[in-house]
Chains A and B, each alone.
Chain A
């Protein structure tokens, strides 16, 4: 079982869009996938029409394997299950701080509850916290959407710095440009600059800004299921292949 996190310390960059489409593409390729929604907002679950979990509350996520597996729901797509979020997930940091080995609890929980899956995809909330550290340690790959703007560049560098400081494995970080707009000079310049300085930490694929991604909210389904030949669907298809290659 491999764990792929979709993470960014910045909000609204496309983590959830990436998680949903990545998970669906990997499942469609025949791997058994669990999409684990760690964000109490429950956006991933929303896209799959899965209602928030009621039974998996508070520390149970980390302590009760049976409740964890019972909370898993089959999606409408083959090979793809979803662990929907719960509002109490917003207090993960508090629960983790109370527990021993607080930095490896997530890995332990996922290893125990996700035995049936080849790949676990994590949709993470946007911050650097105890939970994030757990994510960094648990994951085999950390997919980071980066909107090609100066501010995002800075956040990405903060993340790399954090990894260095905490002696985390930087190779796990797989950034990619998200919501890129070719018409914007700034986007083009930022991408060129970042590829120069952080080339090793960046995947080749670029997910363009596309209304089809926004339409996921109307269809409540992954992009490829309603716009298979769209540029966005193609980009996500390239993305999962790139990510799997790096695993």
Chain B
């Protein structure tokens, strides 16, 4: 039973609809529609398009295409979903757009909205539809058609659906494809770079390609970080640089020792510039959840703390933006990019450079996996926290290694292992986040000029309560580690790791 259909179509299908027949049925416009200018919006990483949708603003009206019929809402501008006024469009967006991402304009289009009807040979309406044709200034166009059958006419909708696929003048797309048809440069396709790796790829080549791609990725996030669009830009920038650094430290011997040391130092220096702002971002992201953690009377104190943090953050943001815009910074980035470009011709190779990436990967992953198991296996209620932290770091490294080398292993086999690992990491992550935040917040309490104003006292009281809750959270996460590891250490996962990564002769 077909209850409704919706399609993204390349080009303007109206001329084709004029002559197209779906069995004896035809699709006709119910009224001539006017053209209106509109602006297409999405997050930097295209979360709206990835959810199969397109967000448009037309004057003060929002239009969301992609969920059956077009959804509309007036009086709210795109931005952070949480800042938008409640309504059908916002509520739908909240289902798939991260609260951390800002919806920004991608470009201008002209839209034509046209109600349509599917009529049979007696002009009986069988289904009603909505056609939205979008045309970009540069000339690309795409359309969204949705149709719902009247009761008892599901079969006619089925005919329409299969007929649409056959209208050759217009191809069918997904929402992402529709956006790129309209605005080819709007959505970056390379935010999740796929590194090509085959059985023959050398470790040197793999490492160099990964770093090259991550450097591009870091650079792609610079403008949004400078413009302070949303905190995810800096976060993703840091993730990319962190991945570069992990390749340098995890792929031991791929580059010459002095090369590795030099690169590590330089990427370390780049990373160091970003820590302060990220920490402050994290507090502000947690603002609502922190407020919810402390009892009502203590909330005003916490609000004061967040005021301070927001002020600090503004300063840190300015400083980082200045840094990213500086000549020194862009020169350094260009130099680094050059080193990894062109298959890394300029890089000094190390003893492991020519090894097969696959062999190195298996060796490194197996070793790290064994380490994780060894530490995790010894953890019980009496184990000191330091050891839990150590476990977390090994898990993280294991995760990075597996992710770097995913392309050379069968996807169906490595994916479940990654998933199992992620579940273990979740609890370790909570444990660590609480610990880090506790320390940092306690640090804020002690820092300052030592004067004891009423404001400071109020903040201190609230912070005290917050620290207590964080400590409880940390302990609860800590108490779960054993069970989570037991789940991770299942026979299936163990066999999976051994099958993919254990080479003959390696320690069991």
Q: Which residues of A contact B (CB under 8 A)?
A: 48-51, 70-76, 81, 220
Contact = CB atoms under 8 A, between A and B. Distances in A.
A70 B154 CA distance: 10
A76 B125 CA distance: 6
Contacts of A75: 150
Interface string B138-160: 00000000000111110000000
B122 A73 contact: no
Contacts of B153: 73-74
B122 A74 contact: no
Question: Interface on chain B toward A: helix, strand, loop, or mixed SS?
Answer: loop
Contacts of A71: 152
A72 B150 CA distance: 10
Contacts of A74: 125, 149-153
A49 B120 CA distance: 9
B60 interface: no
B124 interface: yes
A73 B149 CA distance: 10
Contact of B124 (A72, A76, A81): A76
B327 interface: no
A141 to B, nearest CB: 25
B124 A70 contact: no
Interface of B: 120, 122-125, 149-153
Nearest to B154: A70
A220 B122 contact: yes
A48 B150 CA distance: 13
A120 B123 CA distance: 25
Contacts of B152: 70-74, 81
A81 B153 CA distance: 12
Nearest to B149: A74
17 contacts: A49-B122, A49-B123, A49-B124, A50-B124, A70-B152, A71-B152, A72-B151, A72-B152, A73-B150, A73-B152, A74-B125, A74-B149, A74-B153, A75-B150, A81-B151, A81-B152, A220-B122
A74 B118 CA distance: 13
B125 A73 contact: no
A51 B125 CA distance: 12
Nearest to A116: B151
Nearest to B125: A76
A74 B152 CA distance: 6
A51 B120 CA distance: 10
Contacts of B125: 74, 76
Contacts of B122: 49, 51, 220
Nearest to A77: B125
Given A70-B152, A72-B152, A73-B152, 10 more contacts: A48-B124, A49-B122, A50-B124, A51-B124, A73-B153, A74-B125, A74-B152, A74-B153, A76-B125, A81-B151
B325 to A, nearest CB: 59
Contacts of A81: 151-152
Contacts of B151: 72-74, 81
**Which one of B124, B125, B150, B152 has the greatest number of beta carbons of chain A within 10 Å?**
B152
A15 B210 CA distance: 79
A66 to B, nearest CB: 13
A51 B124 CA distance: 9
A74 B153 CA distance: 8
B422 to A, nearest CB: 46
A177 to B, nearest CB: 32
Nearest to A50: B124
Contacts of A72: 151-152
A77 B149 CA distance: 13
Contacts of B149: 74
Nearest to A46: B122
A231 B262 CA distance: 94
A96 B122 CA distance: 34
Those 4 A-B pairs whose CB atoms lie nearest each other, nearest first: A74-B150, A49-B124, A74-B151, A73-B152
A49 B153 CA distance: 13
B117 to A, nearest CB: 8
B153 to A, nearest CB: 7
A161 to B, nearest CB: 40
A71 B152 CA distance: 7
A163 to B, nearest CB: 35
B498 to A, nearest CB: 54
Contacts of B124: 48-51, 76
